[in-house]
Amino acid sequence: MPINTDGLPPTAVLAIHQQVARTLRDPLDAARVQETADQLRRTARQARQEVPAS
């Protein structure tokens, strides 16, 4: 499942991309990859909630 970055500030998108790059560089098993994806989704949701509505 892709991570939706719509509406996130550029710094949050950059942080997500950096985490994905670190994950892809490391030989992680499927459970760790899923855990990382879940954490990134939580981070994205939290960042989206912190963005003031325009």
The fraction of the chain above a pLDDT of 90, given in percent, is 0
Express each pLDDT in 10-44 by its tens digit.
888 888 888 777 777 766 666 677 788 888 888 88
Map out the domains of the chain as residue ranges: 10-49
pLDDT above 60: residue 1: no
Output the pTM of the full model.
0.43
CB–CB of 4/44 below 8 Å?
Answer: yes
pLDDT above 80: residue 54: no
Token digits of residue 29? 């098993």
Rounded Cα–Cα distance for residues 43 and 54 (Å): 21
- CA neighbours closer than 13 Å in the CB half-sphere of residue 49: 6
The whole-number pLDDT of residue 27 equals 63
Please give the full DSSP string across 8-41, using - where no structure is assigned.
--HHHHHHHHHHHHHHHHS---HHHHHHHHHHHH
The whole-number pLDDT of residue 30 equals 63
